[in-house]
Every structure is written in C-alpha cells, then in structure tokens.
A and B are shown apart, each in its own frame.
Chain A
Amino acid sequence: MKIEKEYDNIFRYVLYRVNCREEAEDITQETFLRYIQHSEYHKAGSERQVLYTIARNLCVDFYRKTKTEPIGEDVPSADNADILRDVAVRVAMSKLSEEEREIIILRFVNGENISVIAKIFGTSRFTMSRMINGIISRLKEELGKEELL
C-alpha cells in the first residue's frame, strides 16, 4: 500500500462527504490512526477497503454530531471556463442519490476498482458493476445536455 496515495484518496473521499477541509483533515488522520491501532484491520490486500470503511463510518459519526448533510458544492479555484464546467458536473452529480455519488467518486475520481467498492457497500461486484453502468448512463445523459460529453 502506498500510503501517500491512499492518504490523498481518503482525504478526497472524506472531503467530498463532509465538505469541510478542516474536518476532512481530522477524519483522514483519525482513519489512519484507527487502522494502525487495530490489528484486525491488517489483512493483506484489503487495506483500501478497510480504510474506506473506517473513513465512511467516521463521516457518518460526523453527520450525527453536526446533523448536516454533505453538499459537495465548494468549487476549486480555476479559470472561468473550468469553473463553469465543474459546476455543471456537480449539478449533474447532484441529481444522483448520495450513495450513487459516493460510488462515482470512488470509481472515477479515486480510481478504485469495482471489487473494492463492492466490498465497501457490501454487495457483489457484479451488482456493483451494473449499478455503476446505470449511474454512468444517467450521468452521461445529464452531462450530454450540457454538451460536456
């Protein structure tokens, strides 16, 4: 496991979910601390799945404490065209369910393979594959309306 890469991935995932950099930094660190402190997590080949699961649970705890839902609408600085394009993507994403957005982030932003995502969501990778295909179709339809695809 390349910890630098995994750290970035977990951070992006958490940031997307909690929509607050400071909290995302904290939750990411807490994720790795919990991982190393519990030997039962140390199963070769499943590190990413375990890290995502810990992070996911910590995000849920965060929601419970704050009673806020992630909105994921902070737009990174860039030039105007990029901003408009990113906003259009986020608008299209907002039409998906929270779970579907999460799956898309894991698959296409963090580049996780379907097996890992399927395990995180407790389903088979065949089901996950079909879900992703369905989500992509709808997302592409939305993005096609904006002539982004």
Chain B
Amino acid sequence: MPPAGIWVDGLVQSCIYITMAFGMVLVFSILGILNWTHGQFYMLGGFVVYYAVTAAGIPFPLSLLVSGVVVGGLGMLVEKVVIERLTSPGYGILSVTAATNALIFFFEGAAGMGFGLMNKGMATVLPGVLDMGSFSISYQKIAVIIFTLVVMVAMYIVLNRTKVGKAIRATSQEPDAASLYGVNVKWVRVIVMGIGCALAAMAGGVIGIVQSVNPFMGRVPMIMSLLAVVIGGLGSLTGAIVGGIMLGLLNSVIAYSISYYSEVALFMLVIILLLIRPQGLFGAAPK
C-alpha cells in the first residue's frame, strides 16, 4: 500500500487535472471543439501570476484572479478572431484543429521571447510545511487543494444559480432552441471560452508556486487533462471531475509502484476503459 504522502501528492495532481479538464469540457460542450491550446493558457496563467506576485507585489490570491481575467480575456479574443471563423460553415474541423495546434507553438514562442526560457519560481509564496506525523504537506499544496474546491463551488453556483449559467446549459443542450429563447449563442461561446481559459490560467498560476513556471509547462498537463476528459466522458462536467481525480491518484500510485513504466500503464488503462466503455464513465452512450 503506498504511503499517505503518495495519496496526498496524487490528490494535488488531481486538483490540477480537474480544473483544466473542467475548462476543456465546458469549451467542448458549447463550441464543439477540443481546444488544443488549453495547456498554453495554463502556462500563460502561470506567468501572469508570477509577474503579478514578484513584479507588481499583488497578493497571491488576487494574482490568481488577475490571471483568470487576463488570460480569460485572451481566450475570448482567440475565440472571436480565430475559432468563430474556423467553425463557421465552409470550414472543417481540421481547420480549427490546425489553428489551435499552431497557436500552441505561437504562444510558447511568444512566451519564450517575452518572458525568457528559464524556470521561474515563486518559492516565497506560502512557504512552510505542515507536519502531519507520517508525512508532511507544504502550504503551497494545501493552497492547490483549497483553490480547486473553491473553483468547483464557484462553477456550480455560476452554472446552476445564475442567468449566464442557465444560458450556458441551454446552449450546450440545444443551441438552436436556446437561440429561439433569446440566448445570444455567439456571446455564450465567447464567454464559455473565456471561462475555460480562465480556469486553465488559474490552474497554471496555482501550480506555479508548487513547481515552477516556464514556456513549456503546459504540454504534459494538457495531455493529462485531455485523458481526464476522455475517461470521464466528453461533454460531462461530472466526468471531468471524476476523471481528474482518478487520473491524478492513479498517476501517483502507479508511479510509486512501477516507476517510469507508470505512463505506459496509465495510457494502457485508459485504452482498456475506452474499449469497454467508449463514451467514458459519464458520457452519453453512442447512438
């Protein structure tokens, strides 16, 4: 049985995957596309928090909100300028896929040129460790867990208790009918893209204090959150949460058990799951 520290570490990883997967599913539910640049918004969020904390002296929690607003705004711009055009009639799914893949390299290159390629750390934010007896956990990791809980509660309130949330749910279920009821579907798409990117950005900001920030930090989390989405079921927000939890815990436990073969084992498990249940755990069954 892995020690407690491994489970806690897995939980921290789960939190990041949940937040990112949630944003990815939101975007998929409304825009119908996988945003391949999701990992780069995560990375940009990390940089915004880094500079907000170290250069502007903004307190860390506020810096997270700033990163959500700034990078969410950037996401909205990308939706309006790139995705909206490439998802209109006359363009295929390949166009938007190619465009969002190209944006990966654009954002990484721009971040490298603008912020440099060196790792940037925020070790001074929430320093210290809580001794739990058989294991220790840093305050930074506790912040990740609290952040994820806050985000999930906030998203539940927004989606279920606000007009915007109602509009989002209506659009995801039936965009034409929602439009007939007066929902501006185009703006819902932009808002959802903003929310999705904001979630990714804040995830990047909060993990930036645990690890470090660099232009290439978004690649692996993007793949992992995509796996979480696939495990949970494309289009299912509940699935994104469950998928994220499973992936984070499994990743940590398997890595403890079989070292560097963990990625092979993890991806094999995902394939087996999809063969048994192609729609994922909570996705709608194929017709």
Do A and B associate with each other? no
Interface residues of B (CB under 8 A from A): none
Interface residues of A (CB under 8 A from B): none
